Amino acid sequence: MLALRIAESGAAPALQDIPRPVPGPGQILVRNRACGLNFADLLMQKGTYQDTPKPPFTLGMEVAGEVVETGEGVENLSPGARIAVYSGQGGLAEYGVFEADRAVPLPDGLSYEQGAALPIAYGTTQLALDHRARLQPGETLLVTGAAGGVGLTAVEVGKLMGAKVIAQARGSEKLEVAARAGADHLIDADEDLRARVLELGGADVVYDAIGGDVFKEAFRATNPEGRLLPIGFAGGAVPQIPANHLLVKNLTVIGVYIGGYLKFRPDILRACFATVFGWAAEGRISPHISHSLPLDRAVEGMELLRARKSTGKVVITI
């Protein structure tokens, strides 16, 4: 089978023909149909992601397809079942073996492409805004990088949860994407973020995927008792947080890493995915996929992420 592999640390990804894997106890063999790309895939290529597998490995962190074979002890899934998986790796291949307890049933009304675009971005956002930040109806949510893979979901889910959403992104095209997702107010990345947010009454919750100076300005525009969610550092710089300012304004900075829940609270993650896929089945959320490319163009898809030329998700069809 074909798979997009990292042969050694720091090596460029390349398509290779490798043997089809066999499921072990508690595992399923999946015919992969679509795989969502994530910024973490770029970090894995450099070996800087916190959960980078030991090379050689196959890229692709979230995948949708159908079950081909089940391993010993798997009772809740049968061959032919349509599923999505938060796989962590192995999605950019024609077949993949994954832990059965990571699989989520794919509702009949959703395509494989939609299924592959849901787990990480929407899962992270639902976990962050609901379980971690306890976003309340009527609160103001500031989303930075609001047209990106996770940012756009935060706009959509924030509106679904009843918040007033301020979206920050670069350029009119990306801001228009955020507006279509439900943003109430738009701020261009070239504007003074702190000043504009304060003009709008300040932020109660900040969802930041950029880091660096953007986080610092959002921090300064957060209302007393506000909550800040550092989701990622796409801008390249990890912000340093002044503890004295946390004290004076009674602020809370809340870490969110969806992968960590696989290890210490998988029940919360299962509930999170059930909520997200339920919303999608009801039409309450709809993944925005700016690019859909075949497997032999997966590297091109990653370059779209690296150059920030995509909005929402880039999905690879297999």
Residues 247-276 have pLDDT tens digits of: 999 999 999 999 899 889 999 999 999 999
4 three-class SS: strand
Predicted TM-score (pTM) of the model is: 0.92
pLDDT at res. 10: 81
Domain 2-118+287-317: CATH superfamily is Medium-chain alcohol dehydrogenases, catalytic domain (3.90.180.10)
pLDDT tens digit sequence for 145-161? 999 999 999 999 999 99
Instruction: Tell how strand 164-169 and strand 140-144 pair up.
Output: parallel
* Residue 250 CB coordination number (10 Å): 10
Question: What is the C-alpha separation between 149 and 256, in angstroms, rounded?
Answer: 16
Does 121-258 carry CATH code 3.30.70.980? no
pLDDT of 236 strictly over 80: no
Instruction: Supply the mean pLDDT for the chain.
Output: 95
pLDDT of 67 reads 98
Domain locations in the chain?
2-118+287-317, 121-258
169: β partners: 188
Residue 131 φ/ψ, nearest 5 degrees = -65, -40
Cβ-proximal residues to 103 (8 Å cutoff; 6+ apart), any chain: 28, 67, 77, 83, 84, 85
| Range 48-55 contact pairs with CB under 8 angstroms and sequence separation of 24 or more | 50/257, 50/259, 51/88, 51/259, 53/88, 53/89, 55/6, 55/7, 55/8, 55/9, 55/11
Indicate whether 298 pLDDT > 80. yes
Contacts of 278 (CB under 8 A, 6+ apart): none
